[in-house]
């Protein structure tokens, strides 16, 4: 991590379960863009905030487009969505192949002994499953899983360089064809039209995580019992992680009552980021005066399997790991539709964000020690029949993100966003990333970024409460520290952290 990223300081007191989280993250670093032309900001910002740089680019260009009154084409939005999904797949595989296995080493005896030199064409199993005449897609998947159970795999760690090569090859091909994140319409359209082949990256999702095609996996794993059967029968590194959690009795570890950030928080976020106390809000955001969580679990919480796991295990480690896998499978399924100029597959029905209108309300929805300012989101699935411009750029597993009317002057449908002001967002790997920009006379006046880490590592947020729950569970000494690090990894900060347990 660069010095610009800062780090988190996390202290856990074993006897009382008290947790203190401090941050040296430079949350006002985006001020360096003040005075620059929007096009320069769009080019430079992803290099300054390089972790999840594709999601940063998506949120940045979307915010600038809204502030400038521009509306990108559907093809440009779809290509941005595809590239953010590819980045998220890469990040999720990093967690599954490197971070989770390292944290689960104490339970390594429950994980598969993988032959680092062996390889398998997992897609052949997926194709066989698809083409075989079977009673149902689920039955086909079970057959593929049974075949997969007897096949060797590459080691998790040795597979990660292949993931990185596949992702970087995809990015190089895109860069050679044009930049869909450009503010220049012609360049963005050229980028959207460039041919891309994500098959190498998708092959690794099947080989290292799911054991079969994403759509078949999502259909087959329809209950907690199905997850347990899949983990027992499948010889992928990801399945081994599920086995390790179950064998170690860690399914409920860290469960706590922190709520999840809702799917369409645009007006309250716009108001909070425009407020004079915006810096305080960015440092410690709250939703309806309470801490909230964002990330893969929040994105897929309504999916039937995850809803069932939440009912059975709360937001503990098993639910978090399976939510990561579901998010991975959904992103991969959406990316499968990208081939040359072919349009992307339709967004996940259960995760599609509705278009939203806004109405004033008497109760505040966001709090950072601020006065009540009102604002509530009213979702609407109806198409207003008008040309809607994006608040955000249509990225993320939740599909096409909501839009605002193509208006210049302030009105209620802009959710309190003034002319010359834009709100852009992207569902990054670790959660909702929100950018706000104000532009006047062709120059950026002010730039603010709200990152997922500030929600999840809030001093009283989901990590703080999860660590407190682990301490109250009776773990002591080295075991407590191991469990704490495992839980922090499961929620996943975007910066380095220092943990001290006393």
pLDDT along the chain (502 residues), means of 10: 73 96 88 95 92 95 96 95 97 97 77 35 36 38 38 67 96 93 95 93 97 97 98 96 95 97 88 94 95 98 98 98 98 80 40 30 35 27 25 33 29 51 96 97 96 96 98 93 97 93 94
Residues 448-482: b if buried by 16+ CB within 10 A, e if exposed: bbbbbbbbbbbeebbbbbbbbbbbeeebeeeebbb
- What pLDDT was estimated at residue 340? 42
Nearest to 154 by CA among 231, 235, 93: 235
The length of the chain in residues reads 502
- What pLDDT was estimated at residue 108? 61
Please, is 16 exposed, middle or buried when counting C-beta atoms within 10 Å of its C-beta (0-12, 13-18, 19+)? exposed
**DSSP string of 132-167, one letter each residue:** S--SSHHHHHHHHHHHHHTS----HHHHHHHHHHHH
CB atoms within 10 A of CB 178: 19
- What pLDDT was estimated at residue 420? 93
Phi, psi of 206 (to 5 degrees): -65, -45
- What pLDDT was estimated at residue 105? 86
- Who's near 222: CB < 8 A, 6+ residues apart? 138, 304, 305
CB atoms within 10 A of CB 319: 27
Nearest to 461 by CA among 148, 133, 19, 132: 19
pTM: 0.80
- Who's near 121: CB < 8 A, 6+ residues apart? none
- Who's near 94: CB < 8 A, 6+ residues apart? 160, 163
For residues 497 and 24, is the Cβ–Cβ distance under 8 A? no
């Amino acid at each position: 991590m660069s010095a610009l990223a800062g780090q988190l300081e996390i202290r856990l007191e074993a006897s009382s379960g008290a947790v203190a989280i401090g941050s040296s993250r430079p949350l006002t670093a985006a001020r360096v863009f003040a005075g620059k032309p929007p096009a320069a900001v769009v080019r430079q910002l992803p290099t300054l905030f390089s972790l999840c740089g594709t999601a940063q680019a998506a949120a940045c260009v979307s915010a600038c487009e809204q502030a400038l009154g521009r509306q990108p084409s559907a093809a440009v939005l779809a290509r941005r969505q595809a590239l953010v999904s590819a980045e998220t797949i890469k990040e999720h595989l990093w967690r599954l192949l490197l971070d989770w296995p390292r944290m689960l080493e104490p339970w390594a005896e429950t994980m598969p002994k993988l032959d680092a030199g062996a390889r398998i064409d997992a897609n052949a199993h997926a194709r066989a499953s698809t083409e075989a005449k079977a009673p149902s897609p689920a039955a086909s998947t079970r057959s593929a899983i049974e075949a997969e159970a007897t096949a060797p795999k590459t080691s998790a760690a040795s597979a990660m360089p292949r993931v990185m090569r596949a992702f970087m090859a995809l990015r190089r091909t895109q860069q050679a064809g044009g930049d869909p994140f450009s503010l220049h319409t012609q360049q963005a359209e050229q980028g959207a039209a460039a041919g891309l082949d994500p098959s190498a990256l998708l092959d690794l999702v099947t080989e290292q995580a799911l054991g079969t095609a994403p759509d078949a996996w999502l259909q087959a794993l329809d209950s907690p019992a199905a997850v347990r059967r899949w983990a027992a029968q499948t010889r992928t590194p990801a399945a081994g992680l599920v086995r390790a959690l179950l064998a170690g009795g860690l399914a409920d570890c860290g469960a706590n009552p922190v709520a999840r950030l809702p799917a369409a928080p645009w007006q309250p976020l716009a108001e909070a980021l425009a407020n004079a106390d915006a810096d305080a809000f960015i440092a410690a955001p709250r939703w309806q005066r309470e801490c909230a969580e964002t990330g893969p679990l929040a994105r897929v919480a309504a999916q039937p399997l995850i809803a069932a796991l939440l009912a059975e295990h709360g937001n503990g480690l098993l639910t978090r790991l399976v939510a990561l896998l579901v998010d991975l499978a959904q992103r991969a399924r959406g990316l499968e539709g990208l081939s040359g100029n072919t349009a992307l597959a339709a967004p996940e029905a259960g995760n599609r964000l509705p278009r939203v209108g806004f109405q004033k309300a008497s109760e505040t929805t966001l709090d950072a020690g601020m006065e009540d300012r009102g604002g509530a989101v009213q979702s609407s699935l109806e198409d207003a029949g008008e040309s809607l411009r994006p608040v955000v750029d249509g990225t993320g597993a939740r599909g096409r993100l909501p839009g605002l009317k193509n208006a210049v002057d302030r009105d209620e449908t802009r959710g309190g966003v003034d002319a010359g002001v834009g709100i852009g967002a992207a569902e990054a790997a670790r959660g909702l990333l929100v950018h706000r920009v104000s532009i006047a006379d062709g120059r950026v006046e002010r730039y603010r970024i709200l990152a997922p880490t500030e929600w999840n590592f809030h001093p009283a947020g989901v990590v703080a409460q999860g660590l407190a729950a682990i301490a109250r569970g009776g773990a002591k000494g080295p075991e407590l520290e191991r469990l704490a690090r495992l839980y922090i990894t499961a929620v996943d900060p975007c910066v380095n952290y220092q943990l001290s347990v006393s």
